């Protein structure tokens, strides 16, 4: 019908098949076991929602209004008890071994009951993602051991990700802005480690986390080439907590200020620095850009799932209200105009779920969980006894070659177009999911009238919670530009993104 | 609001602006903490002393007797800083309007004359709903020439503060509702703790439960809906002016922030994406201003289609406000979501204001159904607007003239 070479040429034409048919490619390669895992974790999340989240989320939100300094330890302890903080940590590091390919579905379920409590769990995996993006097996092993110990002993040990600074939001998140931006968290190389000075703000779960995975910079004027990723433990001398922000929503998940004043971080807690990156074939700045792409591709997929969860919460609230409220002598749900709106809301949920599912598949093919998603790796880790895996990794992690091997696979051998794909789909999932959250929440308020604006009817809380999702992990404005850069601008060589030309 | 050449209006605008900047703005965050912080009684006292609760009340009843334009101007200014006070003024004015429409001037006069403090003067009202959309209104039983109300009424705004309330109730099951004036301090009204709401935290509602509470019938039995409509007709424009004020506050804060915040080595205002967002916000704010100015003109001149113009303007502005305030937060990024700035409050307030006078979608449906001769009261509406084509044409012409006039004034 058509020669193989001709077929390839057509498929490589824009829009490229590989860019737009992610799931079709991924499903054939993905281990089948992931399907049953995803079903199981959705059930686990629903059980948690029924038993813990739904009964408690509104009183908790009210409590946070009343006392903004309250920390929702009860929920963290309960999540820890159920193994949520170890669930997606690979078995070789002592975790539950569930594939990260399923985490977005898990987060959607949690967010469909409460955006704040979903964040209490989800933010930990932001920290985990950043830690894993360094592929430093020694540090990963040590930090994960603490998390697993915390699970076993009933003392939650969770991770935070710390990038944002008082004068640098977007600047700290995009390699393009780092050198012209206003970054101020300085890392000075001293014998045996780094000395850190500076502040981080808006750090989700900061006050409740044990380990903080942070970025600091040895040269603030050329930060893009001088980034240091460090793991800092709560209690380290020179590291203190500042204020907790007074947020509009997602109140149960504190946004914290982290203050570093001559804080010494030993070399053993350096995840990756310029010296490590220099050992790779790629220029240091490119490696840093790839680390960012891996982190954002994974985390923005998760935020997209949060958005879908809140869009679903709004839809479910509006539907329940319409099913029990009579207007003009008949149930609202039987008014044609209302049916159209509810159908629109349902559509928003389904379509935005497809977006994050595609992004998740992209991560499985080329992103953070690419290696763990390879069938031999997946089944080896699944069926090898945990003890053997842990012993092996503890032994192997002592040798630098394991870290170097994985860094070479992920940073040097990953094609640019694959990086574009994961980062582009991450941004798309984030924008689509979080916009759906706001759209549905607004519609819910409009459909529910005076009930919609009551805190005890939840819809207004969903709207408050949703709004944050359009802001963090890069505002949706920045994500649209990133989507353009990664997916749209490629075939147009004269297109410039994030440059003076855009002024 | 669109600048007017009217000196009196200018003075009113200036006074309202000074009040909101000096009295409201400094305590905005603290006042918004209610019901978990103190209620802003001191602000209410000052507003009362300045007759802000008397704006539309006729002079012979102790009010100021101002028209719609002055009312809108004041509410616009107040809501640029803190809409909670706006919500209180609005709810009280709606209750007053219903009382006036029912011919209960004597009762209003008595309330005004006997008021020593703010709560004595305020009248609670379920301003977040059209009673037609509430399936279980309280019932009113007649006994020896008096009425006694029983049943629940949720979201009675100012119910925890005001001495009295205007309450909708049905005299018999299925009958059209009537309005009653009820003393809330009697032991036969149980009021909940303040309902925690999305916005307007310092304009609290309560859930009320009436247990044979004595009520004074306002006007004619079963005519509640026509009294409500009377208040609705003009006060929806006041609600729109509240939204417009919120829009302006949000725009001003967004521009101020974009002028100073630097990201990526350049000020936010220099990013063309941000310029586009600010342009959208500015256009919507100006459009809101122009619509209100034109609708006020139509009300004042009692033009044939003034009700239609008021409804169209209000529906448009309230919906536009909910989108604009979302961009208002986006423009500030993370800090826009925090209580240290005014944007997050405006985001919530815009949603709450849109809920005033009933479901947004039902207001829209009722708007079009009067053209289409559908539903309850269609006959009445048909008189109002008999033929859509003619009205669209004539109304459009007048609207264009009005907008041109407003734009000329703005240019001056």
Q: How far is it, in rounded angstroms, from Cα B256 to Cα B248?
A: 12
Q: How far is it, in rounded angstroms, from Cα A279 to Cα A269?
A: 19
What pLDDT, on a 0 to 100 scale, did the predictor assign at position A188?
Answer: 98
Pairwise CB contact (< 8 Å): A453 & B128: yes
What pLDDT, on a 0 to 100 scale, did the predictor assign at position A460?
Answer: 98
Q: Which residues of B touch A174 (CB under 8 A)?
A: 264
CATH of the domain at A400: 1.20.140.10
**Gap from A65 CA to chain B (nearest CA, Å):** 7
Which of B28, B198, B338, B363 is the mutation pick for testing A, counting most A CBs within 10 A?
A: B198
Pairwise CB contact (< 8 Å): B360 & A449: yes
Residue ending a domain, choose from B118, B139, B160: B118
Shared domain for A112 and A181, answered yes or no, is: no
Q: Which residues of A touch B375 (CB under 8 A)?
A: 328
CATH of the domain at A178: 2.40.110.10
How many beta-carbon contacts under 8 Å exist across A and B?
A: 147
Q: How many helices (H) and strands (E) does chain B have?
A: 14, 9
B141, B101 contact by CB (below 8 A): no
- The verdict on residue A424 lying in a domain is yes
- The verdict on residue B2 lying in a domain is no
Q: Which residues of A touch B262 (CB under 8 A)?
A: 167, 182
User: From the list B329, B334, B359, which residue is nearest A449 (CB)?
Assistant: B359
Pairwise CB contact (< 8 Å): A449 & B265: no
Residue ending a domain, choose from A252, A276, A300: A276
Residue of B nearest to A460 (CA): B198
User: From the list B351, B355, B376, which residue is nearest A463 (CB)?
Assistant: B351
Structural domain count, chain B = 3
Shared domain for A475 and A487, answered yes or no, is: yes
Shared domain for A292 and A409, answered yes or no, is: yes
How much is the average pLDDT of A413-442?
A: 97
Q: Which residues of B touch A325 (CB under 8 A)?
A: 135
Structural domain count, chain A = 2
Shared domain for A434 and A485, answered yes or no, is: yes
User: From the list B333, B337, B361, which residue is nearest A248 (CB)?
Assistant: B337
Q: Which residues of B touch A444 (CB under 8 A)?
A: none
Q: Each residue of B2-36: pLDDT tens digit?
A: 556 788 889 999 999 999 999 999 999 999 999 99
Which of A450, A469, A477, A500 is the mutation pick for testing B, counting most B CBs within 10 A?
A: A450
B158, B168 contact by CB (below 8 A): no
What pLDDT, on a 0 to 100 scale, did the predictor assign at position A400?
Answer: 84
A368, A297 contact by CB (below 8 A): yes
Q: Which residues of B touch A181 (CB under 8 A)?
A: 263-265
What pLDDT, on a 0 to 100 scale, did the predictor assign at position A501?
Answer: 72
Residue ending a domain, choose from A276, A305, A339: A276
User: From the list B263, B272, B376, which residue is nearest A170 (CB)?
Assistant: B263
- The verdict on residue B168 lying in a domain is yes
Could you tell me which of A258, A253, A210 has the C-alpha nearest to residue A68? A253
Shared domain for B216 and B243, answered yes or no, is: no
Q: Each residue of A118-139: pLDDT tens digit?
A: 999 999 999 999 999 999 999 9
User: From the list B264, B359, B361, which residue is nearest A171 (CB)?
Assistant: B264
Pairwise CB contact (< 8 Å): A181 & B264: yes
Pairwise CB contact (< 8 Å): B337 & A471: yes
Q: Which residues of B touch A449 (CB under 8 A)?
A: 128-129, 133, 355, 358-360, 362
What pLDDT, on a 0 to 100 scale, did the predictor assign at position A189?
Answer: 97
Shared domain for A153 and A173, answered yes or no, is: no
Residue of B nearest to A63 (CA): B36
Q: How far is it, in rounded angstroms, from Cα A93 to Cα B368?
A: 64
Residue ending a domain, choose from B165, B195, B223: B223
A468 versus B384: the higher-pLDDT residue is A468
- The verdict on residue A309 lying in a domain is yes
- The verdict on residue B1 lying in a domain is no
Shared domain for B165 and B36, answered yes or no, is: no
- The verdict on residue A5 lying in a domain is no
CATH of the domain at B47: 1.10.540.10
Shared domain for B374 and B303, answered yes or no, is: yes
Shared domain for B278 and B393, answered yes or no, is: yes
Q: Each residue of B192-205: pLDDT tens digit?
A: 999 999 999 999 99
Pairwise CB contact (< 8 Å): B154 & A326: no
**Gap from A213 CA to chain B (nearest CA, Å):** 20
Question: Both tokens of residue B96?
Answer: 């007053």
Q: Which residues of B touch A169 (CB under 8 A)?
A: 263, 333-334
Shared domain for B150 and B229, answered yes or no, is: no
Shared domain for A311 and A407, answered yes or no, is: yes
Pairwise CB contact (< 8 Å): A170 & B154: no
Shared domain for A255 and A370, answered yes or no, is: no
Shared domain for B194 and B272, answered yes or no, is: no
Residue of A nearest to B131 (CA): A327
Shared domain for A243 and A287, answered yes or no, is: no
- The verdict on residue A2 lying in a domain is no
Pairwise CB contact (< 8 Å): B355 & A464: no
Planar angle of CA A53, A59, A63, nearest 5 degrees: 120
Pairwise CB contact (< 8 Å): A449 & B128: yes
Instruction: Work out the number of other CB atoms within 10 angstroms of the CB of residue A139.
Output: 24
Instruction: End-to-end CA distance of chain A: give it in Å, rounded.
Output: 49
Shared domain for B30 and B53, answered yes or no, is: yes
What pLDDT, on a 0 to 100 scale, did the predictor assign at position B68?
Answer: 96
What pLDDT, on a 0 to 100 scale, did the predictor assign at position B255?
Answer: 98
- The verdict on residue A497 lying in a domain is no
Angle at which helices A375-383 and A33-48 pack, to 10 degrees? 60
DSSP string, B56-98: SS-GGGTS----HHHHHHHHHHHHHH-HHHHHHHHHHHHHHHH
Pairwise CB contact (< 8 Å): A66 & B36: yes
Q: How far is it, in rounded angstroms, from Cα A447 to Cα A333?
A: 10
- The verdict on residue A462 lying in a domain is yes
What pLDDT, on a 0 to 100 scale, did the predictor assign at position B3?
Answer: 58
User: From the list A168, A447, A502, which residue is nearest B361 (CB)?
Assistant: A447
Shared domain for A168 and A150, answered yes or no, is: no
Q: Which residues of B touch A456 (CB under 8 A)?
A: 195-196
Poorest-confidence range of A88-92, A268-272, B70-74, B401-405?
A: B401-405
Shared domain for B165 and B302, answered yes or no, is: no
Q: Which residues of B touch A332 (CB under 8 A)?
A: none
- Mean pLDDT of the residues in chain B: 91
Q: Which residues of A touch B334 (CB under 8 A)?
A: 164, 169, 201-202, 471-472
Q: Each residue of A26-45: pLDDT tens digit?
A: 999 999 999 999 999 999 99
B192 CB burial (10 A radius; 0-12, 13-18, 19+):
middle
User: From the list A449, A452, A467, which residue is nearest B337 (CB)?
Assistant: A467
Q: Which residues of A touch B340 (CB under 8 A)?
A: 246
What pLDDT, on a 0 to 100 scale, did the predictor assign at position B405?
Answer: 52
What single DSSP character describes residue A489? S
Q: Which residues of A touch B155 (CB under 8 A)?
A: 450, 454
Pairwise CB contact (< 8 Å): B155 & A450: yes
Shared domain for B104 and B193, answered yes or no, is: no
Poorest-confidence range of A14-23, A396-405, A453-462, B344-353?
A: A396-405
Shared domain for B233 and B367, answered yes or no, is: yes
Residue of B nearest to A61 (CA): B196
What pLDDT, on a 0 to 100 scale, did the predictor assign at position B384?
Answer: 43
Give me the domain span that covers residue B55: 7-118
Which of A453, A473, A482 is the mutation pick for testing B, counting most B CBs within 10 A?
A: A453
Q: How far is it, in rounded angstroms, from Cα B19 to Cα B50?
A: 9
What pLDDT, on a 0 to 100 scale, did the predictor assign at position A335?
Answer: 97
The confidence band for A499, taking pLDDT boundaries of 50, 70 and 90, is confident
Pairwise CB contact (< 8 Å): A452 & B198: yes
- The verdict on residue A6 lying in a domain is no
How much is the average pLDDT of A332-358?
A: 98
Q: Which residues of B touch A170 (CB under 8 A)?
A: 263-264, 333
B393 versus A334: the higher-pLDDT residue is A334
* ipTM metric: 0.95
Could you tell me which of B245, B156, B248 has the C-alpha nearest to residue B195? B156
Shared domain for A288 and A377, answered yes or no, is: yes
- The verdict on residue B270 lying in a domain is yes
User: From the list A170, A450, A460, which residue is nearest B129 (CB)?
Assistant: A450
Residue ending a domain, choose from A276, A306, A335: A276
- Mean pLDDT of the residues in chain A: 95
What pLDDT, on a 0 to 100 scale, did the predictor assign at position B408?
Answer: 54
How much is the average pLDDT of A339-350?
A: 98
Shared domain for B201 and B301, answered yes or no, is: no
- The verdict on residue A255 lying in a domain is yes
User: From the list A180, A446, A449, which residue is nearest B264 (CB)?
Assistant: A180
How much is the average pLDDT of A77-83?
A: 98
**Averaged pLDDT, groups of 10, chain B, 412 residues long:** 73 94 94 95 95 94 93 97 97 98 96 93 97 94 94 98 98 95 94 97 98 97 97 97 98 98 92 96 98 97 94 98 98 95 97 96 93 63 40 44 49 46
Pairwise CB contact (< 8 Å): B198 & A168: no
Give me the domain span that covers residue A120: 17-158+283-492
Residue ending a domain, choose from B223, B249, B279: B223
Pairwise CB contact (< 8 Å): A454 & B198: yes
Q: Which residues of A touch B336 (CB under 8 A)?
A: 471
Q: Which residues of B touch A326 (CB under 8 A)?
A: 135
B391, B308 contact by CB (below 8 A): yes
Shared domain for A428 and A345, answered yes or no, is: yes
How much is the average pLDDT of A149-161?
A: 98
The bridge status of strand B262-263 relative to strand A186-190 is unpaired
Shared domain for A341 and A469, answered yes or no, is: yes
Pairwise CB contact (< 8 Å): B270 & A471: no
- Residue with tokens 């005299």, as numbered in its chain: B171
- Residue with tokens 């029990």, as numbered in its chain: A324
Shared domain for B246 and B200, answered yes or no, is: no
What pLDDT, on a 0 to 100 scale, did the predictor assign at position B400?
Answer: 44
What pLDDT, on a 0 to 100 scale, did the predictor assign at position B81?
Answer: 95
């Amino acid at each position: 019908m058509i020669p193989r070479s001709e077929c390839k040429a057509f498929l490589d034409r824009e829009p490229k098949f590989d860019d737009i048919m992610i799931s079709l490619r991924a499903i054939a390669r993905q281990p089948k076991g992931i399907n049953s895992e995803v079903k199981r974790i959705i059930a686990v999340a629903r059980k948690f929602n029924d038993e813990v989240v739904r009964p408690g989320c509104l009183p908790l939100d009210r409590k946070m209004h009343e006392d903004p300094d309250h920390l929702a330890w009860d929920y963290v302890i309960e999540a820890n008890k159920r193994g949520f903080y170890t669930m997606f940590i690979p078995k070789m590091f002592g975790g539950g071994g569930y594939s990260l390919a399923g985490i977005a579905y898990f987060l959607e379920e949690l967010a469909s009951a409460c955006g704040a409590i979903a964040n209490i769990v989800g933010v930990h995996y932001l920290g985990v993602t950043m830690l894993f993006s360094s592929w430093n097996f020694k540090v990963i092993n040590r930090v994960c051991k603490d998390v697993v110990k915390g699970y076993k002993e009933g003392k939650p040990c969770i991770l935070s990700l710390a990038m944002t600074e008082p004068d640098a939001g977007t600047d700290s998140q995009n390699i393009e802005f780092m050198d012209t931006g206003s970054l101020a968290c300085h890392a000075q190389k001293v014998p045996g480690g780094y000395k850190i000075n500076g502040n981080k703000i808006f750090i989700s779960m900061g006050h409740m986390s044990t380990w903080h995975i942070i970025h600091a910079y040895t040269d603030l004027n050329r930060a893009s080439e001088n980034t240091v990723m460090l793991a800092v433990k709560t209690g380290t001398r020179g590291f203190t907590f500042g204020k907790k922000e007074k947020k509009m929503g997602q109140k149960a998940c504190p946004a914290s200020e982290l203050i570093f004043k001559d804080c010494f971080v030993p070399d053993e807690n350096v995840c990756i620095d310029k010296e490590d990156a220099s050992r790779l074939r790629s220029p240091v700045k490119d490696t840093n850009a790839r680390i960012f792409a891996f982190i954002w591709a994974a985390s923005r997929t998760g935020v997209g799932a949060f958005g879908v969860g809140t869009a679903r919460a709004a839809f479910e609230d509006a539907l329940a209200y319409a099913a029990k409220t009579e207007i003009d002598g008949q149930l609202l749900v039987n008014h044609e105009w209302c049916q159209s709106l509810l159908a629109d809301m349902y559509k928003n949920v389904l379509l935005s779920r497809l977006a994050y599912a595609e992004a998740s598949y992209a991560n499985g093919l080329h992103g953070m969980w690419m290696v763990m998603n390879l069938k031999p790796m997946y089944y080896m880790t699944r069926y090898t006894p945990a003890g053997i895996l842990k012993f092996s990794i503890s032994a192997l992690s002592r040798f630098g070659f394991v870290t170097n091997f994985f860094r070479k696979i992920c940073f040097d051998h990953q094609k640019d177009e694959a990086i574009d794909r994961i980062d582009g789909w991450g941004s798309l999932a984030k924008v689509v999911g979080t916009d759906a959250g706001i759209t549905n929440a607004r519609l819910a308020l409009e459909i529910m009238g005076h009930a919609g604006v009551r805190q005890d009817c939840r819809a207004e809380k969903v709207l408050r919670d949703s709004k944050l999702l359009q802001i963090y992990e890069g505002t949706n404005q920045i994500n649209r530009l990133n989507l353009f850069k990664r997916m749209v601008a490629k075939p147009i060589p004269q297109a410039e993104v994030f440059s003076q030309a855009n002024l | 609001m669109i600048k007017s050449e009217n000196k009196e209006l200018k003075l009113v605008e200036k006074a309202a602006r000074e009040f909101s900047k000096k009295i409201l703005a400094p305590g905005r965050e603290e006042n918004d903490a209610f019901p978990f912080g103190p209620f802003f009684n001191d602000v209410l006292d000052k507003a009362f002393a300045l007759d802000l609760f008397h704006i539309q009340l006729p002079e012979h009843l102790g009010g100021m007797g101002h028209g719609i334009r002055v009312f809108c101007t004041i509410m616009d200014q107040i809501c640029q800083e803190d809409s909670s006070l706006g919500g209180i003024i609005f709810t009280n004015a709606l209750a007053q309007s219903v009382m006036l429409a029912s011919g209960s001037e004597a009762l209003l006069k008595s309330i005004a004359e006997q008021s020593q403090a703010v709560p004595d003067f305020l009248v609670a009202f379920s301003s977040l709903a059209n009673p037609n959309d509430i399936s279980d209104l309280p019932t009113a039983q007649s006994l020896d020439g008096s009425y006694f109300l029983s049943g629940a009424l949720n979201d009675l705004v100012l119910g925890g503060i005001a001495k009295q309330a205007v309450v909708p109730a049905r005299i018999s099951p299925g009958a059209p509702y009537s309005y009653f004036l009820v003393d809330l301090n009697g032991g036969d009204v149980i009021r909940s703790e303040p309902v925690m709401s999305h916005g307007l935290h310092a304009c609290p509602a309560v859930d009320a439960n009436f247990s044979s509470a004595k009520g004074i019938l306002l006007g004619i039995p079963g005519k509640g809906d026509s009294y409500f409509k009377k208040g609705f007709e003009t006060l929806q424009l006041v609600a729109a002016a509240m939204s417009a004020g919120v829009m302006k506050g949000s725009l001003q804060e967004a521009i101020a922030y974009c002028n100073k915040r630097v990201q990526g080595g350049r000020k936010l205002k220099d990013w063309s994406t941000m310029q586009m967002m600010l342009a959208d916000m500015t256009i919507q704010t100006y459009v809101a201003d122009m619509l209100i100015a034109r609708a006020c003109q139509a009300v004042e001149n009692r033009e044939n289609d003034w009700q239609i113009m008021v409804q169209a303007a209000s529906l448009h502005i309230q919906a536009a406000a909910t989108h604009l305030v979302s961009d208002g937060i986006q423009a500030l990024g993370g800090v826009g979501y925090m209580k240290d700035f005014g944007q997050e409050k405006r985001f919530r307030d815009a949603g709450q204001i849109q809920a005033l006078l009933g479901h947004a979608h039902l207001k829209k449906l009722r708007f079009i159904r009067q053209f289409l001769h559908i539903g309850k009261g269609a006959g009445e509406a048909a008189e109002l607007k008999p033929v859509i084509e003619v009205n669209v044409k004539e109304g459009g012409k007048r609207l264009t003239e009005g907008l041109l006039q407003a734009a000329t004034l703005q240019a001056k």
